[in-house]
Amino acid sequence: MVTQSGIAAEAQETGRIRVIVQDNGPIHRCKEVQQLWSKWEAMGLYISSLFQFALY
């Protein structure tokens, strides 16, 4: 299984920036994961979320 931490480590090793675009699911927005964002960004991994929208 590929994890965000693994992708961050690969980005740091290769010196290439990586971007992950994810949905707004609870697992992606929880405090534990949000606390890792700055660490991952320092390693070259950037997290972006899809825009929230409502269907009417």
For the chain, counts of helices (H) and of strands (E): 4, 2
**Would you place residue 1 in the very low, low, confident or very high pLDDT band (cuts 50, 70, 90)?**
low
pLDDT tens, residue by residue, 41-52: 999 999 998 887
| Domain range list for the chain | 4-49
Answer yes or no: is pLDDT of 56 > 70: no
pLDDT at 12: 92
* Per-residue exposure over 32-41, b if at least 16 CB sit within 10 Å of its own CB, e if not: eeeeeeeebe
What pTM was computed for the model? 0.74
Reduced to 3 states, what is the DSSP secondary structure of residue 40?
helix
pLDDT tens, residue by residue, 32-43: 989 999 999 999
| Averaged confidence pLDDT in the chain | 88
